[in-house]
Chain A
Amino acid sequence: MKSSIHLSDSVKALLRPGVVLLAVAAVAAFVLGGVSLATSGRIESIAAEKLSASMQAVLPADGYEDLGIEDNGEVEAAYAASNGGWVVQTTESGSQGLVTMLVGVDGSYACTGVSILDSSETAGLGAIAGQASEKGEAFRAQFVGQTAVVAVTKDGGEIDAITGATITSRAVCAGVTAALEYCAAIEPDGSVPQPLSDAG
């Protein structure tokens, strides 16, 4: 008799931490579900707004049609603008992480602008590429009118890099080049190529 009481006590002592942890986690999950449900609509609409504002900045047009291409890790998405150009979303590795940008390309395959959507580059150095500051604007303005392969001056191109190490600048150049290459491959009849899976 004595031993059975002892046993049930030790079972209780074993189970209690798990049960309490489970209860706390369940309450947390429930609350988080509610908050996520309440905020997801707003978060999505903010992301969509930001995307359309960036599209207008790189290639102003009345409308954009998503071409629905497959993301190959470099060329992520492409949109046909109503005025005959394209907006291509590309991603390259920068110095701290991935740099995601939107590149505007006009009907004659020249770059009309570039806008950094997302990056985690070094504050004060690479981060300037995406900032709304004077230096950032000047850096991005260099890409307007560029065709074919875009490179920094150190690599024999025309783009003045924002920092000496040119890591972020090279990433942006590679992104713009990939976008231009992709648009050049779009057939005159409007049929859309899928980006090569080994690109990048």
Chain B
Amino acid sequence: MNRKQQFAEGTITNNPVLVQQIGLCATMAISTTLFNGIGMGLSVLIILTCCNVVISLIRKIIPGQVRLAIFVVVIAGFVTIVDLLLQAFVPALSESLGVFIPLIVVNCIIIGRAEAFSSKHDVKDSFFDGVFQGVGYTLVLIAMCLIRELLGSGTIGGGLLNGASGFITLDGTGAGIRIFSDTYAAGALVLPFGGFLTLGVLMALLQHILSKSAARKAAKEKEVSD
């Protein structure tokens, strides 16, 4: 399988959030600070990759009738492991993501990739699929966090960067770099419906770019055939 194409699919052309439109609940709920976005993105990336590998490993012995039950057991197992590790080693992140870490169990990205990809492909391909889809998810989260945090609270890098000096705090206490006073910030963007607005705009942008590049490609092919 072509890795480059697989990477492009995961991050852009078949992006889990913007194109497949799965895993939206957590995306909307936690993309309010950069710290949350990166933390959630990496958690999903790790869980997705582990699940893809394990499900691909046992794909030949999984009976079709109970495959969903087995997927859920594997996913819930990895989610719980990550949840416990976060609680023990990154308590700040576990606190600010709250219920959304356990909710990764029902995140459609993971069960969707298990059903659509890793249960049909070998371990290597499934591993890269997990990584690339995870990167795609993380990129969208980061984009949403940057937009919502900047316009919604007037800061950049909340939880991760601290004050004007911009040094990195990994315990989630950083207040972020203030760009403008929060008196002028559109607080609505931090609320769930601000998440819908941001996501809609990002989806429209990506579709615009994709359809343009597809049109250009078609025009080129036509030229060649003419």
Residues of A within 8 A of B (CB): 16-18, 20-21, 24-25, 28, 31-32, 35-36, 39, 42-43, 46, 50, 120, 122-125, 132-133
The interface residues of chain B lying within 8 Å CB-to-CB of A31 are 77, 81
- Tell whether A32 pairs with B63 under 8 Å between CB atoms, given A24-B58, A43-B87, A123-B32: no
Closest A residue to B64 by beta carbon equals: A17
The residues of B with any CB-CB pair to A shorter than 8 Å are 32, 58, 61-63, 65-66, 69-70, 73-74, 76-77, 80-81, 84-85, 87-89, 91, 98-99, 152-153, 173, 175, 187, 190-191
Query: Are B74 and A28 in contact (CB-based, < 8 A)?
Result: yes
Q: How far is the CA of A18 from the CA of B63 in the complex (A)?
A: 9
> How many Å lie between the Cα of A18 and that of B69 in the bound state?
10
> What's the Cα separation between A18 and B66 when bound, in Å?
8
Chain A proximity of B139: nearest CB distance (Å): 22
Given contacts A17-B63, A39-B85, A46-B88, contact A124 B191 (CB under 8 A): yes
- CA gap between A36 and B175 in the complex, in Å: 32
- Give the distance in Å from the alpha carbon of A93 to the alpha carbon of B58 in the complex: 45
- Cross-chain contact of B190 among A18, A25, A120, A124 (Cβ < 8 A): A124
B85 with A46: CB separation less than 8 A: no
Report the separation of the CA atoms of residues A50 and B65 in the bound assembly, to the nearest whole angstrom: 47
Contacting residues, chain B, for A21 (C-beta < 8 A): 66, 69-70, 73
Q: How many A-B residue pairs have CB under 8 A?
A: 62
**Closest Cβ–Cβ distance, residue A52 to chain B (whole Å):** 14
> Shortest distance in angstroms between A119's beta carbon and chain B's nearest beta carbon?
10
Shortest C-beta distance, B63 to chain A (Å), equals 4
In the complex, A132 Cα to B91 Cα: how many Å?
A: 16
Apart from A21-B70, A28-B77, what 15 extra A-B contacts exist at CB < 8 Å? Answer: A16-B63, A17-B65, A20-B63, A21-B73, A24-B58, A32-B77, A32-B80, A36-B84, A39-B84, A39-B85, A39-B88, A46-B87, A46-B91, A124-B191, A125-B191
Chain B at the A interface: SS class? helix
A122 contacts across to B, CB distance below 8 A: 191
- When distances are taken between beta carbons in the complex, the residues of chain A under 8 Å from B191 are 122-125
Alpha-carbon separation in the docked complex, A132 to B171 (Å): 13
**Minimum Cβ distance to chain B for residue A83 (Å):** 28
B77–A123 CB distance below 8 A: no
Q: Which of B66, B74, B98 contacts A120 (CB 8 A)?
A: B98
Of chain A, the residue at the smallest CB distance from B33 is A123
Pair A28/B62 contact, Cβ less than 8 Å: no
**Considering only CB atoms, which chain A residue lies closest to B89 in the complex?**
A42
Residue of B nearest to A19 (CB): B63
Q: How close is A121's CB to chain B, nearest CB, in angstroms?
A: 11
CB contacts (< 8 Å) of A36 on chain B: these are 84
A residues less than 8 Å from B98 (CB atoms): 120
Residues of A within 8 A of B77 (CB): 28, 31-32
Q: Could you tell me the distance in whole angstroms from the C-beta of A63 to the nearest C-beta in chain B?
A: 24
| Contact partner, B152, options A28, A35, A124, Cβ 8 Å | A124
- In contact, B190 and A123 (Cβ under 8 angstroms): yes
Task: Determine the residue in chain A with the shortest Cβ distance to B63.
Answer: A17
Residue of A nearest to B62 (CB): A20
